[in-house]
Amino acid sequence: MKEKLLQKFEEIFGDTEGAKVYFAPGRVNLIGEHTDYNGGHVFPCALTIGTYGVARKREDKKLRFFSMNFENLGVIESTVDDLKPHKEAGWTNYPKGVMWAFGERGMQVTNGMDLMLFGNIPNGSGLSSSASVEVLTGSILRDMYGFEASNQDLALIGQFSENNFNGVNCGIMDQFAIAMGKKDNAIFLDTSNLQFEYAPIQLKGAKIVISCSNKKRGLGDSKYNERRSECETALAELQQVIGINTLGDLSEEQFELYKTAIKDEVRQKRAKHAVYENQRTIQAVEALKKDDIEKFGQLMNASHVSLRDDYEVTGVELDTLVEEAWKIDGVIGSRMTGAGFGGCTVSIVKDEAIDSFIEKVGAAYLKKIGYAADFYVVEIGDGPVIL
């Protein structure tokens, strides 16, 4: 892979003098969805698929970007004096946003660079290709300039750039999962204080299968921000009757006791999801520690139902993938993952059932939706590395 990437870099930028190869993973969230901006817990892991970058520092201020995923766009040029978002700059707004965000933290990017990317995460699939590019850029800058930034800092800088440069109001989960990834472990993260622990994922005789709906998110980002503000309003209403800082502070019992403070039925459902999903995530990690994978799977299924009925972020594509998965013997659990409205589902499937899973879910999906889904058997990998 490294050789191929360097060859391509040479083809695009003339030579490979001073160029280094970097990698940052994508992520999948096992459980704990739409909890990270509600002060709750999440349980994601980094994948072995992700984004490769070949980069070298330049003497001047010129930025030259090339993506092997968007070859038709050719080389996109800019300069470090223009670290502002431009619509027509497309994907380059992600690395530029991170350069800007380092500057906001007092770490100035003074020189230009040549940067070539290649991602093997399916685009727009909800496996965090954008957070992967952000953390990748952060690790390149850290290496190039000797900036003092921990991997956790790379996550925070990535989120800061996505929120303030790219205008997507995401939580910390994606960047954290990617920057802090650890092979064969998921990360049990409390988003209210960033305390976390690694939990080994030893799926004896089973694997993680990602089913990609190939439905592009479209309206997703605006709906995402809408859910956030519904939760904020519900929290403010609850705060009239109970002293909490986030929805993640509530147990299910407390929620049931105080929920009538939320004056709108829809908002009540949104808050219910945030509270119950957080508790489910805590229970899921407990179950995993006890080696009770069946229970873990049931909680994944319950998570999907809640995202479908209370949070309403699934849609017919994701529901079809999950409901067809549930029908198959050997499926331990299945749910949508990521923001929703499209993107992927995550399933834990026994080894002997994987082939029939892909065949049957694939056929049912094609029949109902009219276009094909893609399936990936994935492995849990490490955070960013220099190759």
Active site residues: 174
Q: How far is the CB of 226 from ligand GLA (least distance, A)?
A: 13
DSSP string covering 223-252: HHHHHHHHHHHHHHHHTTTS--SSGGG--H
Nearer Cβ to ligand GLA, position 31 or 348?
31
Q: How far is the CB of 132 from ligand GLA (least distance, A)?
A: 12
Distance in angstroms (rounded) separating the CA atoms of residues 375 and 26: 16
Q: How far is the CB of 158 from ligand GLA (least distance, A)?
A: 10
Distances (CA, A) of 70 to 65, 92, 163, 360: 11, 11, 24, 32
Name the site residues for ligand GLA (rule: CB under 6 A): 33-34, 36-37, 170-171, 173-174, 338-339
Give SS3 for 385. strand
Amino acid at 208: I
Angle at 287 between CA 281 and CA 268, to 5 degrees: 30
Nearer Cβ to ligand GLA, position 64 or 273?
273
Q: φ, ψ for residue 38 (rounded to 5)?
A: -120, 20
Burial class (CB in 10 A: 0-12, 13-18, 19+), 60: exposed
Cβ atoms of 383 and 179 closer than 8 Å: yes
